[in-house]
Structure 1
Amino acid sequence: MAAISSSTPATTPASSPATTRGGRRTLRRVLWGAQILLAVFLFAGSALPKFAGQAEAVRTFEEIGWGQWFRYVTGAVEAAGAIGLVVPRLAGLAAVGLIGLMAGAAATQLLVLSAPWAALPAAFAVVFAVIAWDRRAETGALLRAPRR
């Protein structure tokens, strides 16, 4: 058999710069959709009921045993994280903070409340980790900014 040679280097579609940029753009769009949905959930579905004193939220924090002040702190962290997720420059930093919040929520579910429900904050933490990784350049620039 004769070897076929080409004067131009072979490139696969997955390695071409245009395809890589297109894949990155698609990932960014998917993550923006996830960030918006998570922000709405965190703010409207989780923080607001804590601030409003919804009976289930009050009962849950009584069961945790840290007092109702902790309900307000948790709600404030959720609200701040939700707002941060939709601000492009803050999204990575917000995601990192929310990973910590979700780790605490998963641990609380495992140790105090209902162990099977620990999977939900753990899954959220994984999504926040992907967001934080994708936004690492913006987060780095934000953290370097005060040094200027």
Structure 2
Amino acid sequence: MKYAILGIKALLTLAFVAAGVAKLMGAEMMVGTFEAIGAGQWFRYVTGAIEIGAAALLWVRGREAIGAALLVATMFGAVLAHLLVLGPSAVPALVLGVLAAFIAWTHKEQVLPA
């Protein structure tokens, strides 16, 4: 189980750092996506920073649950954005959200009293 958790954390880190960097660097696709959502480009920067920061927290002992929870919340918003505005391609966001939820669950002792 230890190696499965490490593998999922590595996958999440790669996915969210890549997506976060694309958002912060102003990749054309990301700019268009956030334009379509209508929240403004400032939201693209905030989302990119959250994705990178949360991915980093997955590797900080004692903070893994916080990082994973931030990613779950971000993917919840992404799924809603895809279903309500962008189109039906919410499956990648849903899969990443479920993987992040699994990591949060494996570190639940960090946030829940014993």
Which structure is richer in relative contact order (CA contacts within 8 A, separation 6 or more)?
2
* CA distance in 1: counterparts of 2:28 and 2:12, whole angstroms: 23
Bigger CA radius of gyration: 1
> Could you list the per-position Cα deviations for residues 15-56 of structure 1 after superposition, in whole angstroms to 9, with x for gaps in the alignment?
xxxxxxxxxxxx12211111012112211x201111111111
State the Cα RMSD in Å: 1.3
User: For residue 21 of structure 2, what is the aligned residue in structure 1?
Assistant: 48
Distance in 2 (CA, whole Å) between partners of 1:63 and 1:104 is 14
Match of 1:78 in 2: 51
Q: Tell me the TM-score normalised to structure 1 length.
A: 0.72
Distance in 1 separating the partners of 2:98 and 2:24:
26
* Contact 2:20/2:48 (8 A) holds in 1: yes
Match of 1:87 in 2: 60
SS at match of 2:90: helix
Cα distance in 1, alignment partners of residues 34 and 48 from structure 2: 11
Cα separation, 2, equivalents of 1:122 and 1:132: 15
**Structure-2 separation of matches of 1:121 and 1:56:** 16
Identity across matched positions, percent: 35
Residue pair 1:92, 1:135 contacting (<8 A) in 2 also: yes
Equivalents in 1 of 2:100, 2:36: separation in Å? 27
Kindly report which structure 2 residues correspond to 1:1-148, keeping only aligned pairs within 5 A, or say none. 27-43=1-17, 45-115=18-88, 117-140=89-112
Question: Which runs of 5 or more structure 2 residues have no equivalent in the other structure?
Answer: none
Paired AA for residue 34 in structure 1: I
Q: If the length of structure 2 is used for normalisation, what is the TM-score? A: 0.92
TM-superposed deviation, 1:140:
4.0
CA distance in 2, matches of 1:59, 1:51: 13
Tell me, which stretches of 5 or more residues in structure 1 are unaligned? 1-26, 142-148
Aligned length: 113
Partners in 2 of 1:120 and 1:37 — Cα distance?
13
Conservation of the 8 A alpha-carbon contact between 1:102 and 1:121: yes
CA shift for structure 1 position 121: 1.1
